[in-house]
């Protein structure tokens, strides 16, 4: 039989050791554990050590994923790193740094930037290379060091994010299932709702930009909240429809872990019971591109996904953009 499907054959995650709980943030900005829990569901997050980078975290997530898939780094055809916090602005791609660190000598490598939606995009892109028959082994990593772009004086954003990496190895397979459908979307009108003003070609780094703290993330939380609560159910329903399925077929939804209130809102709109929506935002906060692969890993570790299950993943974020995909676990 010829290989005609794609399969997530291995997965891995990396969480930095340092745990920062809400009480530690109370000592840094005018906030409270009660406010952060009530408004976001976040209890603690991980923060990378000074020597850790997006690349180093990506490598630590990728190694166990490769081991599980039984794929040597030298057998990889492609490495896609989803990130909004690359080791270097612009170039080189963090993907190339990961390729070198893993010793993936045959692999092409590049980054996908789509805010917190990047892993959703990267996973769909990686799957296409396999579904066309062009490649057999693709590594997709979501890694973000959000602590490096957060303004630790801004209580409206610094309490929400954390650092992490998650990885999957995609392989060609003759087992039916895999990626059934996807929806990719973008609404660039929302670009100013969530962005880093300086450090790009529009506003290069300068003494003034540093003084203005313009290299840190700025967000209109209320508008992003409204966007997210609309786009999660909307894009999942659209992807289900493209797969010829309904919410009744869903065994597990893995939404981007930004805020428990956003997730709960989407869950109710989709009329799903709590056990069919995965959450771990309480432990890690919003880890951007790492959020979905880390959640996927934990769902698998907890036995919440078994062969034949229908799993929806929904990523969304800066852009504004979104990426939903329906997988049949094979
Ligand atoms: N501690 C205490 N008070 C705070 C804090 C804080 N950390 N932050 C804000 N407040 C205050 C505000 O100043 C405001 O006070 P005011 O009423 O006197 O003006 C009050 O709390 C309420 O603020 P809101 O912004 O209305 O609070 P809301 O309930 O909307 O929650 C939040 C804010 C958590 C940011 C929410 O809007 C949210 O989660 N938005 C979506 C964010 C998101 O998902 N971002 C990631 C996208 S992915 C990516 O690409 C990075």
The mean pLDDT value for 121-148 works out to: 97
The owner of tokens 């923060």 is 47
Q: Give the CA distances from residue 263 to residues 38, 51, 225, 328, in Å, rounded to whole numbers and listed in that order.
A: 14, 33, 10, 22
Measured distance CA(140)–CA(169) in Å, rounded = 6
All CATH 3.40.47.10 domain ranges of the chain, comma separated, are: 5-176, 179-328
What spacing in Å lies between the alpha carbon of 201 and ligand 1's midpoint? 29
pLDDT tier for residue 2 given thresholds of 50, 70 and 90: low
Let me know: does 177 contact 127? Beta carbons within 8 Å.
Answer: no
What is the CA 113 to chain-centroid distance, rounded? Answer: 11
Dihedral sign, Cα of residue 167, residue 60, residue 162, residue 34: positive
The mean pLDDT value for 220-232 works out to: 96
Coil vs helix vs strand at 302: coil
Let me know: does 289 contact 95? Beta carbons within 8 Å.
Answer: no
What spacing in Å lies between the alpha carbon of 208 and ligand 1's midpoint? 27
Helix (H) or strand (E) holding 38: helix 33-40
Let me know: does 85 contact 150? Beta carbons within 8 Å.
Answer: no
What spacing in Å lies between the alpha carbon of 157 and ligand 1's midpoint? 7
Q: Which fold has domain 5-176?
A: Peroxisomal Thiolase; Chain A, domain 1 (3.40.47)
What is the per-residue pLDDT across 154-185, written as a single tens digit (0 to 9) for each? 999 999 999 999 999 999 999 999 999 999 99
Tell which atom from ligand 1 comes closest to the C-alpha of 318. 50
What spacing in Å lies between the alpha carbon of 239 and ligand 1's midpoint? 29
What is the CA 73 to chain-centroid distance, rounded? Answer: 22
Measured distance CA(194)–CA(178) in Å, rounded = 32
Ligand 1 site: residues with CB under 6 angstroms? 31, 35-36, 39-40, 115-116, 155-156, 159, 194, 219, 221-222, 224-225, 228, 258-259, 262, 286, 288, 317-318
Among protein residues, the one with the nearest Cα to ligand 1's atom 14 is 156
Q: Cβ–Cβ contacts within 10 Å for residue 33, how many?
A: 16
Let me know: does 120 contact 89? Beta carbons within 8 Å.
Answer: no
Please tell me the predicted confidence (pLDDT) of residue 90.
87
Percent of the chain exceeding pLDDT 90 equals 98
pLDDT at 291 over 50: yes
Asked if the peptide bond before residue 92 counts as cis, ω within 30 degrees of 0, the response is yes
The mean pLDDT value for 84-99 works out to: 97
pLDDT at 313 over 50: yes
pLDDT at 1 over 70: no
Residue 219 phi, psi dihedral angles, 5° rounding: -145, 140
The mean pLDDT value for 100-119 works out to: 97
Measured distance CA(180)–CA(330) in Å, rounded = 11
Q: Which residues are catalytic?
A: 116, 256, 286
Tell which atom from ligand 1 comes closest to the C-alpha of 217. 51
Burial of 36 (0-12, 13-18, 19+ CB in 10 A): buried
The predicted model scores a pTM of 0.96
Output the CATH code of domain 179-328.
Answer: 3.40.47.10
pLDDT at 91 over 90: yes
The mean pLDDT value for 60-75 works out to: 98
Tell which atom from ligand 1 comes closest to the C-alpha of 25. 7
What is the per-residue pLDDT across 179-201, written as a single tens digit (0 to 9) for each? 999 999 999 999 999 999 999 99
């Amino acid at each position: 039989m010829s290989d005609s499907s794609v399969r997530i054959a291995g997965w891995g995650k990396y969480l930095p050791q340092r745990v920062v709980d809400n009480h530690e943030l109370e000592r840094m900005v005018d906030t409270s554990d009660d406010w952060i829990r009530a408004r976001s569901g976040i209890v603690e997050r991980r923060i990378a050590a000074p020597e850790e980078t997006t690349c180093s975290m990506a490598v630590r997530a990728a190694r166990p994923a490769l081991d599980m898939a039984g794929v040597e780094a030298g057998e990889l055809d492609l490495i896609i790193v989803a990130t909004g916090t690359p080791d270097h602005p612009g170039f080189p791609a963090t993907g190339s740094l990961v390729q070198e660190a893993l010793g993936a000598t045959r692999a092409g490598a590049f980054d996908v930037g789509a805010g917190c939606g990047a892993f959703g995009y990267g996973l769909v892109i990686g799957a296409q290379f396999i579904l066309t028959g062009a490649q057999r082994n693709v590594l997709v990593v979501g890694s973000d060091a959000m602590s490096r772009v957060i303004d630790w004086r801004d209580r409206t954003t610094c309490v929400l994010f954390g650092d992490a990496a998650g990885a999957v190895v995609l392989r060609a397979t003759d087992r039916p299932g895999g990626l059934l459908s996807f929806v990719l979307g973008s609404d660039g009108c929302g670009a100013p709702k969530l962005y880093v003003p300086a450090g790009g070609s529009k506003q290069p780094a300068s003494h003034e930009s540093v003084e203005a703290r313009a290299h840190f993330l700025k967000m209109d939380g209320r508008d992003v909240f409204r966007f997210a609560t609309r786009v999660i159910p909307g894009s999942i329903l659209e992807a289900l429809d493209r797969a010829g399925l309904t919410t009744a077929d869903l065994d597990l939804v893995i939404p981007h872990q930004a805020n428990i209130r956003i997730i709960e809102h989407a869950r109710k709109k989709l009329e799903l019971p709590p056990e069919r929506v995965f959450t771990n935002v309480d432990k890690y906060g919003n880890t951007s591109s790492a959020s979905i692969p880390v959640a996927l890993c934990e769902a698998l570790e907890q036995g919440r996904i078994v062969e034949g299950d229908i799993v929806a993943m929904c990523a969304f974020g800066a852009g504004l953009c979104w990426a939903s995909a329906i997988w049949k676990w094979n």
